[in-house]
């Protein structure tokens, strides 16, 4: 076997492999067995003829071609591992030469993790100041968080009066253009906060003053800058029935409220906990801001060709992250796309630049970890895995997780944290 490896532009490698007869013979029996499966020979059912007989009825070139295919299937992964090629995704493989009973040559082209030549990352971290100014939590921030808690514990009460802004209304509606219902122009029992439903301008204003059970028909002209281009400047005929109006009844902010929220002695104890939580959030955001700034500065001085497959993979991850977030708030992914007036291809294009930055950051962190000889004990990885699994209450979701993927994910989190610790050690705080 002869192997030649060539570097190609855009972080790809070309692997040219020449196999001789000795390399290929171990695959002959399996090749004959596969080709024999559908072979019709008098006196035998398909696939039952002895291989020595079947071989006489098979095209020698087809046999050799199948041997080559089976050989490539086994040998390519072995080459990747033996030559320590950091392959990404699936290769493009072509058989470039077949000489029966003599030689087979194939060529594989595969994207690889790009080589990085990093700048003085420790020096960059050392020159990137951390804010030394004491982070503080303002009283109005505490009140705002307390108000959110109060609102989240509110009871909804139906009322029979004219609708007004900030009411929670439920409607049936139908929107037509030239007597045809527009795309997504009909719904029943649709609930939203009046004034925040993101309908066509004028739609929600027309509902103000309606009482439960009342209907209304009206016309609207779609603005020329409306995201749905096929509707721009069109006249729409709209029919609405207001089904229900609800308002929030807020609980009193007192010691009983605090005790119902959690193990708080009184309202002051709850406020103290909110303050501590807000301060921790600010500290975490400042840490994230510093880390992002350092990574961006390192990236600016790093020349790197990113394989398109890495960017596309990252976009796929970002789409799945979005779907998970939407699932938590019980919003269907398709409904979200309707609301933002985009399809999935638009969304992917919009994610492109951020995906590229995420890939570059990931590669930089990986390279620093290699240069710093960071090793992660198995015990740390297992502890992180247990920590991640604790955050997933549903057993069905846990069972669907691939253990190998989870281990890689957990290792990545620990590795990145260790890299940031090294970088943070270089930074001197300043005002």
- Between 94 and 90, the more confident residue is 94
74 and 9 in a single domain? The answer is yes
**Residue 358 is assigned to a structural domain of this protein:** no
**Residue 364 is assigned to a structural domain of this protein:** no
SS (H, E, C) the chain: CEEEEEEECCCEEEEEEEEEHHHHHHHHHHHHHHHHCCCCECCECCCCCCHHHHHHHCCHHHHHHHHHHHHHHHHHHHHHHHCCCCEEEEEEEEEEEEECCCEEEEEEEEEECCCCCCCCHHHHHHCCCCECCCCCCCHHHHHHHHHHHHHHCCEEEECCCCCCCCCEEEEEEEEEECCEEEEEEEEEEEEEECCCCCCCCCCCHHHCCCCCCCEEEEEEECCCCCCCHHHCCCEEEEEEEEEEEEEEECCCCCHHHHHHHCCCCCHHHHHHHHHHHHHHHHHHHHHHHHHHHHHHHHHHCCCCCCCHHHHHHHHHHHHHHHHHHHHHCCCCHHHHHHHCCCCHHHHHHHHHHHHHHHHHHHHHHHHHHHHCCCCCCHHHHHHHHHHHHHCCCCHHHHHHCCHHHHHHHHHHHHHHHHHHHHHHCCCCCEC
- Check pLDDT > 70 for residue 428: no
Helix axes 267-300, 403-424, angle to 10 degrees: 80
- Check pLDDT > 70 for residue 429: no
Helix axes 344-371, 308-328, angle to 10 degrees: 110
The fraction of the chain above a pLDDT of 70, given in percent, is 99
- What is the pLDDT, as a whole number, of residue 276? 93
Q: What residues contact 318, with CB distance under 8 A and at least 6 apart?
A: 351, 354, 355, 358
- Check pLDDT > 60 for residue 56: yes
Q: What residues contact 146, with CB distance under 8 A and at least 6 apart?
A: 253, 270, 271, 274
- What is the pLDDT, as a whole number, of residue 132? 57
CA–CA gap between residue 210 and residue 375 (Å, rounded): 66
Residues 238-261 pLDDT 10s? 999 999 999 999 999 999 999 988
Task: Say if residues 98 and 67 touch (Cβ distance below 8 Å).
Answer: no
Binned at pLDDT 50, 70 and 90, residue 307 comes out as confident
203 and 105 in a single domain? The answer is no
Binned at pLDDT 50, 70 and 90, residue 229 comes out as confident
15 and 104 in a single domain? The answer is yes
- Check pLDDT > 90 for residue 418: yes
- What is the pLDDT, as a whole number, of residue 408? 87
225 and 159 in a single domain? The answer is yes
10 and 101 in a single domain? The answer is yes
Binned at pLDDT 50, 70 and 90, residue 59 comes out as confident
**Residue 373 is assigned to a structural domain of this protein:** no
> Residue 192 corresponds to which tokens in the numbers above?
């939203």
237 and 172 in a single domain? The answer is yes
Residues 378-403 pLDDT 10s? 999 999 999 988 887 777 777 888 88
Residues 255-273 pLDDT 10s? 999 998 888 999 999 999 9
Binned at pLDDT 50, 70 and 90, residue 76 comes out as very high
Mean pLDDT of the chain: 89
Where is the domain boundary, 197, 215, 249? 249
Residues 335-364 pLDDT 10s? 888 878 888 999 999 999 999 999 999 999
85 and 185 in a single domain? The answer is no
CATH code assigned at 242: 3.10.50.40
- What is the pLDDT, as a whole number, of residue 27? 92
CATH code assigned at 9: 3.30.70.1050
**Residue 73 is assigned to a structural domain of this protein:** yes
CA–CA gap between residue 319 and residue 307 (Å, rounded): 19
9 and 106 in a single domain? The answer is yes
- What is the pLDDT, as a whole number, of residue 4? 92
Task: Say if residues 128 and 290 touch (Cβ distance below 8 Å).
Answer: yes
Helix axes 344-371, 403-424, angle to 10 degrees: 60
CA–CA gap between residue 190 and residue 172 (Å, rounded): 6
**Residue 299 is assigned to a structural domain of this protein:** no
13 and 70 in a single domain? The answer is yes
Residues 357-378 pLDDT 10s? 999 999 999 999 999 999 999 9
**Residue 52 is assigned to a structural domain of this protein:** yes
Q: Which domain holds residue 83?
A: 2-112
Where is the domain boundary, 219, 249, 279? 249
Residue tagged 């500065």 (tokens): 297
163 and 233 in a single domain? The answer is yes
Number of domains the chain contains: 2
- What is the pLDDT, as a whole number, of residue 430? 53
171 and 89 in a single domain? The answer is no
Where is the domain boundary, 87, 112, 137? 112
**Residue 49 is assigned to a structural domain of this protein:** yes
**Model pTM score:** 0.64
User: For 305-327, what is the mean pLDDT?
Assistant: 89
183 and 81 in a single domain? The answer is no
User: Among the listed ranges 168-172, 215-219, 406-410, which one has the minimum average pLDDT value?
Assistant: 406-410
**Residue 321 is assigned to a structural domain of this protein:** no
């Amino acid at each position: 076997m002869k192997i030649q490896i060539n570097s190609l532009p855009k972080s790809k490698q070309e692997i040219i492999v020449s196999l001789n007869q000795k390399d290929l013979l171990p695959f002959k029996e399996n090749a004959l067995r596969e080709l024999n499966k559908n072979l019709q020979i008098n006196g035998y059912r398909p696939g039952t003829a002895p291989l020595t007989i079947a071989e006489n009825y098979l095209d020698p070139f087809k046999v050799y071609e199948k041997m080559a295919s089976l050989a490539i299937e086994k040998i390519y992964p072995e080459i990747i591992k033996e030559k320590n090629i950091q392959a990404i995704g699936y290769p493009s493989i072509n058989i470039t030469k077949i000489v029966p009973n003599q030689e087979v040559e194939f060529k594989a082209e595969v994207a690889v993790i790009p080589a990085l030549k990093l700048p003085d990352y420790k020096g960059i971290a050392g020159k990137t100041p951390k804010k030394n100014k004491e982070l503080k939590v303002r009283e109005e921030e505490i009140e705002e968080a307390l108000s959110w808690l109060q609102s989240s514990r509110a009871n909804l009460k139906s009322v029979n009066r004219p609708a007004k802004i900030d009411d929670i209304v439920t409607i049936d509606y139908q929107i037509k253009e030239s007597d045809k219902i527009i795309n997504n122009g009909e719904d029943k029992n649709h609930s939203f906060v009046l004034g925040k439903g993101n309908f066509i301008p004028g739609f929600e204003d027309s509902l103000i003053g309606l009482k439960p059970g009342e209907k209304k028909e009206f016309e609207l002209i779609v603005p020329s800058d409306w995201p749905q281009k096929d509707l721009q400047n069109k006249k729409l005929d709209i029919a609405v029935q207001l089904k229900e109006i609800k308002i929030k009844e807020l609980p009193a902010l007192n010691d009983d409220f605090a005790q119902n929220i959690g193990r708080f002695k009184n309202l002051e104890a709850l406020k103290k906990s909110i303050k501590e939580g807000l301060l921790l959030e600010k500290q975490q955001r400042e840490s994230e801001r510093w880390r992002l700034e350092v990574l961006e500065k390192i990236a600016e001085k790093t020349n790197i060709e990113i394989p398109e497959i890495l960017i596309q993979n990252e976009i796929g991850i970002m789409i799945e992250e979005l779907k998970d977030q939407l699932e938590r708030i019980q919003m269907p992914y398709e409904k979200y796309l309707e609301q933002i007036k985009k399809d999935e291809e638009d969304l992917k294009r919009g994610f492109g630049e951020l995906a590229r930055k995420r890939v570059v950051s990931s590669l930089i962190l990986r390279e620093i970890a290699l240069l710093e000889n960071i090793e992660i004990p198995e015990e740390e990885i297992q502890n992180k895995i247990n920590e991640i699994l604790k955050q997933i209450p549903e057993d069905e979701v846990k069972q669907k997780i691939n253990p190998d993927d989870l281990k890689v994910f957990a290792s990545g989190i620990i590795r990145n944290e260790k890299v940031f610790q090294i970088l943070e050690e270089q930074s001197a705080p300043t005002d």
